[in-house]
Amino acid sequence: QVQLVESGGGLVQAGGSLRLSCAASGRTFSSYAMGWFRQAPGKEREFVAAISWSGVRKHHADPVKGRFTISRDNAKNTVYLQMNSLKPEDTAVYYCAATRGDSSNWPSPNAYDYWGQGTQVTVSS
């Protein structure tokens, strides 16, 4: 069982930065790959980024590539999403999630076993 709690969301102007954190409970955190998704009003949940259990392998979705960076600290049971050069279209609720699935399935929400409650990110123009 893994429980996830996101933090770090807020209101920021376009071009600004935020760092989201996702704190996990449970001794098995380091055995899970972790992902970040986002969901804007009226839209489907969208893959943002994922990272392997070791932190070596990372995958970022094209809309955020070069602007967002996923990382993790297994000693702190925490995964991060550094978001730079934010745009109004990045406005959404951001969720972290945990999976033991294959990396080929990382972009699919169905691959994830555990989800956090989400944190709101709003980017003003």
**pLDDT by residue (tens digit) across 42-93?**
999 999 999 999 999 999 999 999 999 999 999 999 999 999 999 999 999 9
pLDDT of 17 over the 80 cut = yes
CA nearest to 101, candidates 92, 113, 85: 113
Average pLDDT over residues 95-107: 95
Per-residue pLDDT, 66: 98
What the block records as the tokens of 36 is 């970040």
Instruction: Give the confidence band of 106 by pLDDT, cuts at 50, 70, 90.
Output: very high
What the block records as the tokens of 37 is 């998704």
Share of the chain above pLDDT 70, in %: 100
